[in-house]
Amino acid sequence: MSDRIPKNEYEVSYLHLIFFILIIVLLLLIAFLIGYKTGEKRVCKKENPIVEKVRIKKEQIPIKKKTSSKKVVKKEFPKEETEKPLTENIKQKVENIEPEVKKNKEKAIAKKEKITYKKGYYVQVAATQDLTTAKKDAKKYRKYFKVIIFYPKESDKVKWYKLRTGPFKTRKQAKSYLSKLKNRYKIKGFIIKVE
């Protein structure tokens, strides 16, 4: 009867003991990971007080800009003295510019009369009576192909600004280019010869 084990004592083998320890370690590892993830979510929602203090300190620190070794001395003049000469200088400059602008306009008009375009065949893609519209259209078309604005002659009764592309040496080249424009960009144009 002494070989018999009392009811409140259990016999545990080494294999059972190792299995029991592994289960406890695994449970502790799972608890640690869950705690780590929940703590990470809380930190994301709230600002870390240490990080907040560092941000405040960075904002309070004045930033030094790199300056050259040359020293710049700023002279301050009284406002009353500087304002009057500046306005007078500006008026004088404007008065000097106005005659120059008139001269430049006259030169531009004279140049328009003398404009000569290369001889050959051109494809006309648009025409308008307003120069600003012609310039806007030309800018739009230049994204896709080369465009030249043909200015009206002084002798023309009705002023038309023509948008053309070219020149092409032969009518056949101009015709093939026109077909490409029709297929790619749905532009209806026509061929014109400039001599």
Looking at residue 82, its pLDDT comes to 46
Going by the DSSP 8-state scheme, the letter that residue 63 receives in this structure is: P
Going by the DSSP 8-state scheme, the letter that residue 169 receives in this structure is: S
Tell me how far the alpha carbon of residue 53 is from its chain's centroid.
36
Q: Nearest-5° angle of CA 62, CA 68, CA 70?
A: 120
Looking at residue 174, its pLDDT comes to 94
Looking at residue 110, its pLDDT comes to 46
CA-CA distance, 114 to 117, in Å (whole number)? Answer: 10
CATH code given to domain 116-194: 3.30.70.1070
Q: What is the CA radius of gyration of the chain?
A: 43
CA-CA distance, 7 to 10, in Å (whole number)? Answer: 8
Side-by-side strand order, sheet with 190-194: 148-150, 161-168, 120-128, 190-194
Q: Nearest-5° angle of CA 96, CA 97, CA 101?
A: 135
Q: Which parts of the chain register pLDDT below 50?
A: 81-82, 110
Query: Helices (DSSP H) in 46-78: which residue ranges?
Result: 49-60
Residue 137 φ then ψ, to 5°:
-65, -40
How much of the chain is in helix, strand and coil states, percent to nearest 5? 55, 15, 35
Q: What's the burial of 56, exposed, middle or buried (CB within 10 Å: 0-12/13-18/19+)? A: exposed
What's the one-letter identity of residue 179?
S
